[in-house]
Amino acid sequence: MDRRAMGTYVGAVYAALVYAFLYLPIGVLVALSFNNSRLNAVWQGFTLDWYRVLWHDRLILEAAKNTLIIGFTATIAATMVGTLAAVGMYRYHFRGKSVLDSMLYIPIVIPEIVLGIALLAFFALGKVPLGLWTLILAHITFCIPFVVIVVRARLAGFDQHLEEAAMDLGASPWQTFVKVTLPLIMPGVVAGALLAFTLSIDDVIISFFVAGPGSTTLPLKIYAMVKQGVTPTINALSSILLLVTLLVTVTAEAIRARAH
Amino acid sequence: MSGEEQSRTTQEEKRRRNWVPVWTLAPVSLWMVLFVAVPLLLVLMVSFTKRGTYGGIVYEFTLENYARFFDPLYFTVMSNSLLVALLTTVACILVGYPFAYIVARSPRRYRNLLLMLIIIPFWSSSLIRTYSWIVLLRTEGVINNVLLSAGLIHEPLALLYNLGAVIVGMTYTLFPFMVLPLYASIEKLDCSLLEAARDLGARPWQVFRRVTLPLTMPGITAGSLLVFIPTLGLFFISDLMGGSRTMMISNLIQNQFLTARNWPFGAALSVILMIMTLILIGLYLRSTGSKEKLEVV
């Protein structure tokens, strides 16, 4: 073997090892969710018992319901606000644009914990009781910037003449937006919405501070359960959440790939 | 259509078009002011108040929350956090650089798939990924079981609840944030420059040190920033995987707000964390001179 082929070979092995590092822990976790043993380390046979346990756990079902309510509400609101913002910021130059820009970057770049306690302080001093609503408001807040970025990326290749043509033909700004702009940027909007949804259903840090008693979400429930100790039920719950995220990610990537 | 009439319609048109930004930008501006700017200013304000006897806030100006930060006890927490952040960043670079290089130089038809396989874990919950390492590392965990049954060890190893475990958890969670910018900068690398260096007699190591490394430095800096900053905030990783001696600043903030009920001190710590972050970003922006490079998503 010459040196070059040798190098390629070593490279492939190294890459394979890194992929194993990325996927093995998750794979083991999913496999153990079907393991017929409480001990959670040695394979004892196949079972769906842990999924059945989940299905009969009232608190987990409640948390799942909350997660979905928050996820859908936050996604819809953040996608609307974020899409409009991306369009407005792409088209117009105005005073204060860089201020708005920085305000959108802040939630992305500062450690999440800072926004979490800031919102906690805000709700506490404003005497807003913590619960489902504070979770929804917080989730909308951290989702908006991501929607703006994704939609803006889509707008980068946008032909402004199409909008001008529609306006020249007598369409109102609203009609132009709905009939011309929106269909053209739709793949970006959908991708942004899917990103917002996964961010929402997976969020731990910000939710941790703004959740109230009786308004727990699945990630918060998993966090509390892991603190109590490792159980096969957590494996099953985690596997379901991983599957949902995987489906959403693959859908988003497929949309992005088709749009290009 | 007379000239006057036409100018009137264009003016009307102009007004109508200029009106558009109001309804596109008003919601986002209001939202970001109300739920980002105001809350952050509140934290700043609270950081200068006093703690009440029963955990409330007494509106009296003081700097003692910031002074308290220099207490050796809390200073250790801060240096601990910076150490974990630094080691995590270094681990991500060491594992990620060769990996990103291989992926960026792989045959074009596989490249998208390989990239996608890096992005998928990046979208899944970081809590679950942390948990998966707990399943592997704990005393009765998978790794100990495998080693025991293979006869390589006779007693389970203490793999969890130490600094190393926290760094493994952080590295695993933040790895894609390092690989994606590295990939972007390596893919842009012009191969003819490397060939030129080789033709001029540079040894492989010299080519790397003098050509490849400087040209991919933007990727390394961006990746380091994207790894270093979140490390300081991911409190659940140090909480679940670290021992009692690996408290980080994020755990301290969490404690002050939830258990110790000392909001002013917690707020001061958050302000310090935020200022550190903004300084790092400022330095980064100055070194690259643009904002766009931060966007890897």
* CB-CB neighbours of B179 under 10 Å: 27
**Same domain? B289 vs B161:** yes
Give me A21's structure tokens. 């590092």
Residue A42 covered by a domain: no
Residue A45 covered by a domain: no
pLDDT at B6 (0 to 100): 58
Interface test with chain A among B95, B122, B132, by most A beta carbons within 10 Å:
B132
CB contact under 8 A, A167 and B13: yes
Residue in chain A nearest B116 by alpha carbon:
A253
pLDDT at A118 (0 to 100): 96
Mean pLDDT on B91-102: 95
**Same domain? B175 vs B290:** yes
A195: Cβ–Cβ under 8 A, 6 or more apart, which residues? A146, A147, A150, A252, B123, B297
Give me B54's structure tokens. 């029963």
pLDDT at B296 (0 to 100): 42
Angstrom distance (rounded) from CA B210 to CA A159: 42
User: For B127, which of A25, A113, A204 is closest by C-beta distance?
Assistant: A204
Angstrom distance (rounded) from CA A144 to CA A156: 18
Q: What is the pTM of this model?
A: 0.89
Summarised one tens digit per residue, pLDDT across range A159-203 is: 778 888 888 888 887 888 888 888 888 989 999 999 999 999 999
Residue A147 covered by a domain: yes
pLDDT at A250 (0 to 100): 85
CB contact under 8 A, A226 and B240: yes
Give me B33's structure tokens. 């002011």
Q: How many domains does chain B have?
A: 2
How far off is chain A from B172, nearest CA to CA, in Å? 7
CB contacts of B39 in chain A (<8 Å) are: 115, 118-119, 121-122
Checking if the pLDDT of B93 tops 90, the result is yes
Checking if the pLDDT of B90 tops 60, the result is yes
Residue type, A105: Y
pLDDT at B7 (0 to 100): 59
pLDDT at B14 (0 to 100): 57
Cα end-to-end distance, chain A, whole Å: 40
Residue B52 covered by a domain: no
Angstrom distance (rounded) from CA A169 to CA A166: 5
CB contacts of B240 in chain A (<8 Å) are: 223, 226-227
Angstrom distance (rounded) from CA B228 to CA B233: 10
Residue A111 covered by a domain: yes
Give me B283's structure tokens. 């330095």
Q: Which helix (H) or strand (E) holds B238?
A: helix B235-241
How far off is chain B from A247, nearest CA to CA, in Å? 10
Residue B57 covered by a domain: no
pLDDT at A119 (0 to 100): 97
**3-state DSSP call for residue A158?**
coil
CB contact under 8 A, B240 and A246: no
**Same domain? B4 vs B85:** no
Residue A169 covered by a domain: yes
Q: What rounded mean pLDDT belongs to chain B?
A: 87
Answer whether B39's CB lies under 8 Å from A118's CB. yes
Residue B55 covered by a domain: no
Q: Residue B20: pLDDT band by 50, 70, 90 thresholds?
A: low
Torsion angle of C-alpha atoms A87, A92, A97, A103, degrees rounded to 10: 0
Mean pLDDT on B157-169: 93
Give the highest mean pLDDT range of B80-84, B116-120, B199-203, B284-288: B80-84
Residue A2 covered by a domain: no
CB contact under 8 A, B37 and A248: no
Answer whether A118's CB lies under 8 Å from B40's CB. yes
pLDDT at A203 (0 to 100): 94
- Cα–Cα distance list, B54 to A125, B49, B57, B261, B267 (Å): 16, 14, 9, 8, 17
Angstrom distance (rounded) from CA B186 to CA B99: 11
Distance of CA B204 to the CA centre of its chain: 33
CB contacts of B46 in chain A (<8 Å) are: 121
**Same domain? B17 vs B117:** no
Interface test with chain A among B9, B22, B36, by most A beta carbons within 10 Å:
B36
Residue B63 covered by a domain: no
Residue A24 covered by a domain: no
CB contacts of A138 in chain B (<8 Å) are: 35
CB contacts of B144 in chain A (<8 Å) are: 41
Interface test with chain A among B127, B149, B159, B173, by most A beta carbons within 10 Å:
B127
pLDDT exceeding 70 applies to what percent of chain B? 90
**Same domain? B225 vs B119:** yes
pLDDT at B18 (0 to 100): 53
Give me B289's structure tokens. 């001179």
Cα end-to-end distance, chain B, whole Å: 51
Checking if the pLDDT of B8 tops 70, the result is no
Angstrom distance (rounded) from CA B176 to CA B69: 33
**Same domain? B27 vs B142:** no
Summarised one tens digit per residue, pLDDT across range B70-81 is: 899 898 899 999
Residue B49 covered by a domain: no
**Same domain? B119 vs B1:** no
Checking if the pLDDT of B284 tops 50, the result is yes
**Same domain? B161 vs B264:** yes
pLDDT at B13 (0 to 100): 59
Q: How many domains does chain A have?
A: 1
Summarised one tens digit per residue, pLDDT across range B229-283 is: 999 999 999 999 997 778 899 999 999 998 888 999 999 999 999 999 999 998 8
**CATH code for the domain in which residue B178 is found:** 1.10.3720.10
User: For A107, which of B36, B43, B240 is closest by C-beta distance?
Assistant: B36
CB contacts of A115 in chain B (<8 Å) are: 36, 39-40
Checking if the pLDDT of B295 tops 60, the result is no
List the one residue out of B59, B43, B46, B264 whose CA is nearest residue A118.
Answer: B43
pLDDT at A135 (0 to 100): 97
pLDDT at B119 (0 to 100): 85
Checking if the pLDDT of B291 tops 60, the result is no
Residue B45 covered by a domain: no
Residue A182 covered by a domain: yes
CB contact under 8 A, B42 and A148: no
Find the angle CA(A219)-CA(A222)-CA(A226) to the nearest 5 degrees: 140
Answer whether B270's CB lies under 8 Å from A114's CB. yes
Give the residue ranges of chain A where pLDDT is below 50. none
Beta bridge partners of B51: B57
**3-state DSSP call for residue B94?**
helix
Beta bridge partners of B216: none
Answer whether A248's CB lies under 8 Å from A194's CB. yes
For chains A and B, count residue pairs whose Cβ atoms are closer than 8 Å. 251
**Same domain? B243 vs B118:** yes
Residue B46 covered by a domain: no
- ipTM of predicted assembly, 2 dp: 0.90
Angstrom distance (rounded) from CA A152 to CA A90: 7
CB contact under 8 A, B127 and A41: no
Domain range holding A131? 58-259
User: For A88, which of B25, B33, B39 is closest by C-beta distance?
Assistant: B25
* CB-CB neighbours of A212 under 10 Å: 15
**CATH code for the domain in which residue A240 is found:** 1.10.3720.10
Q: Which helix (H) or strand (E) holds B17?
A: helix B3-32
pLDDT at B293 (0 to 100): 47
Interface test with chain A among B48, B115, B125, by most A beta carbons within 10 Å:
B125
Domain range holding B199? 68-296
**Same domain? B116 vs B262:** yes
Residue B42 covered by a domain: no
Checking if the pLDDT of B206 tops 80, the result is yes
pLDDT exceeding 90 applies to what percent of chain B? 49
